[in-house]
Amino acid sequence: METTLETKRKVIDISADTFRALSVMAASKGTNLKKMIEGILDLVAEDFEANDQYSWLLKELPEGKEMASEKEKKDFEDWLGV
């Protein structure tokens, strides 16, 4: 069974030196330039999602960082039936 991923197309401009270097890297890995660039971008996006989004959320929405008061803790435990 094959999974289809939603994709988007975007034309980008890169310098000739970058193109040459990436082409050599792709050839040394036994893949084509397009697939290698897509793979690199996927890894960068995953890393961003794992680190930067969490950092942004902590900075912008810090509500989860505050300790619960004793009353909040007691109310929560009562709600759980603990």
Task: Tell whether the model's pLDDT for residue 22 goes beyond 80.
Answer: yes
SS3 call for 71: helix
Q: What is the pLDDT of residues 30-80, one digit of tens each?
A: 999 999 999 999 998 887 777 777 787 778 876 766 778 899 999 999 999
DSSP state of 36: H
DSSP state of 63: G
| pTM, rounded to two decimals | 0.55
pLDDT grade for 20, boundaries at 50, 70 and 90: very high
